[in-house]
Structure 1
């Protein structure tokens, strides 16, 4: 259904995330993976968390601007951030950083916000989806076990909800589960069907 709707586009997912690729595939979108190198994920001060996620997804799409101008490409970019209070937690630098992040998240509620940009030569749409995640109080032993066995260094907030820590540590979520995995597929599907 969606592949028929998007048949006039060459859809490109500009992401190295295997989780995003799997989710997009399962929704029924035919696409290729964009291979352009990433951007430095720096954002201006003073933006709201939603604005940060949208800004970063638009920044990622900007490297494809020349490609869409002369083609029928539809570029999809996404950026997921984890927010605890006013703090934005990116990807951990190393083991110790990952442990520190998870210690902060333990016993607390945080937001996972994914900004998504859809861009073709005639149109650009950016949106963000926010999911609230509640972690139980976790022991240092549990946190270190997870970090050592799953090495979540490529994940914002130092965890993947689909992994062991999501099964054992997350008490409840409010909003889209798939958003926490890295792509708010329900909202993305809706926006692609309008594109």
Structure 2
């Protein structure tokens, strides 16, 4: 699929790169370090969209004719947002909290051009079986999920053995609501 405008992906995530490449799109990766703090008063969907849009702000002066894609995925257990775990204990605590219950994964996406920005999100509900301590420890030890919100990747071992069902987009949980993104990109490029 060829689009008339160059596409930039502002993400180091191998999962996002793989998903975007899966659309058959040619794109360039450009990454800048951006603070991922957000105002405490925000609702969950607002947080995901705010972070995606905030990341795009770092590129405003650099854009020419490109379409920039930024994204941020958060894992929500009730009103609690589970970020990336800093260490094994935090990862264990997150997975123990997710075990035997459902949670929501929200990915915010920002498409930035010189003409303006489009910001949207997608939400997927994920149901985990009751995980044993042994399963959680095995996953943390072998997959080291410190770069993943909520301390897990659906496409990895823990997803294969632990996720009973999802409601919504699988790809959103991986890190990019690719079907929605494709629709928005068609309007821009």
Provide TM-score, normalisation by structure 2. Answer: 0.98
Among residues 105, 121, 125, which one is paired with 1:128 in the alignment?
121
Gaps of 5+ in 2: none
Deviations 1:113-161 (A, max 9, x none): 0000000101210000000000000010100000000000000000000
Give, in angstroms, the shift of residue 35 of structure 1.
2.8
Among residues 79, 87, 93, which one is paired with 1:86 in the alignment?
79
Corresponding residue number in structure 1 for 2:43: 48
Provide TM-score, normalisation by structure 1. Answer: 0.95
Give, in angstroms, the shift of residue 73 of structure 1.
1.6
Gaps of 5+ in 1: none
Residues 99-178 of structure 1 aligned to structure 2 (within 5 Å): 99-178=92-171
Any idea what SS the aligned residue of 1:12 has? strand
- Root-mean-square deviation (CA, aligned residues, Å) is 0.7
Which range moved further: 91-100 or 43-52? 43-52
Q: Is the 8 A contact 1:67 1:73 kept in 2?
A: no
Among residues 18, 24, 44, which one is paired with 1:22 in the alignment?
18
Structure 1 moving runs of 4+ over 2 Å: none
